[in-house]
A = this chain, B = another copy of it.
Amino acid sequence: MNTFSEILKRNSLSITDGRIKILELFYASDGALAHADIEKNAGLVLDRVTVYRTLQTFVEKGIIHQVPTTDNSVLYALCRQNCANGHHHDNHVHFVCNQCQETVCLDDVTVPAVKLPAGFKPIQSAMIVTGLCNNCK
């Protein structure tokens, strides 16, 4: 039994070819992936709908998280510590490279707090930095 199967098992998900394929893609990628990236690579094996459903399931289980973007595209990336709370991943900064277009989770860079005007009560913050990544500089 390989790593991917273990991840699925740990999250009480059935072990299927499609899910393993998608996990492979995420682990083979440095940055974040869009639905289209996954479909392009797994589309021969998987139906469009299955890709949508798998991504949704993985987000719910906290295996991946949705990456905020400035251009309103939808990106997903692996959660480093496979944490339980699938919806509180907005605490690290996301970096989008203008050159290679990769989106990278900067797990070690936390979103700084900002002072808001009177009356505004913050609950969650997201931050996206664009520029040149360590490969493209």
Residues of A within 8 A of B (CB): 66, 68-70, 72-74, 90, 93, 95, 98, 106, 108-109, 111-112, 114-135, 137
Contacts and interface: CB of A to CB of B under 8 A. Distances in A.
A124 B130 contact: yes
A114 B132 contact: no
A120 to B, nearest CB: 6
Contacts of A134: 117-120
A93 B16 CA distance: 42
A122 B131 CA distance: 4
Contact of A73 (B72, B90, B126): B72
B127 A131 contact: no
Nearest to A110: B114
